[in-house]
Amino acid sequence: MTATVLVFSKVIGTVALGFLTGAVGSASYLSLPTISQHLYSSGTKADVCDAQENLDRLLVRFGRIVGPACITACASLCVSFAFATKSARHPYLLYSALSVPVACAVGYFKARPLVRAVLDVDADAESEASTPESTDTAETSQLDNSVYENVSLSPKVKSKEDVSERVEDTLHRRVITQSISHLGTVGVAVSGIFGFGFIISTIGIYGDMY
């Protein structure tokens, strides 16, 4: 390959690394906190479901963008190293290309359990074991066969049901908020790895040209 094509390939790989750094960083600092912001205040079942749906949509869009960018970055830098002359085969090309699989591995093994923890929360499921059985609070009068409600029983049952629902909603909110928070931390680490490769590649290209 000509020197111009190799330089162009280096630039493409470097630009792809810079794009990955910004994309992962923006998702970690902006998108993920936005998903969980409503859970800090209310944390209702509707908010939990919305958080799960928003995270799922974000991951789908993110995969469509990041996947091709990773392939482009790694392939361009590897091609630039493989087809360069011996004097132009600088190690920075391999180091920059290696940042892509390392970042992907960290993101996969660290983020996947956190994502599953969020998506596996079933906010609509009702815990039959923790919910007390309904008690017949109606009584029939022996005088005129009228039906009256025993007010001494129904408030207690409703109170227990409300407490059980509140505890369950709180647990769901805590699991999701903590998982999303840790997911943002993993995203920052992945973005840092991409950024490290981007800086190395940028400095290397500058050194090749000047």
Encode pLDDT of 148-199 as tens digits.
455 454 454 456 555 566 666 667 778 888 889 899 999 999 999 999 999 9
137 in a structural domain: no
107 occurs within a structural domain: yes
Element (H, E) at 37: helix 32-41
Domain that holds residue 46: 3-126+179-209
Assess if residue 44 is contained within a domain.
yes
113: its two tokens? 């359990």
Q: Is residue 15 part of a domain?
A: yes
Answer yes or no: is 21 within a domain: yes
Which of 155, 147, 201, 187 has its CA nearest to residue 55?
187
Q: What residues pair up with 140 in beta bridges, in sequence order?
A: 147
Residue 78 domain flag: yes
* Overall number of domains in the chain: 1
d(CA 129, CA 143): 39
Q: Does 51 map to a domain?
A: yes
86-145 confidence digits (pLDDT tens): 877 888 999 999 999 999 999 999 999 999 988 887 755 444 444 444 445 455 555 555
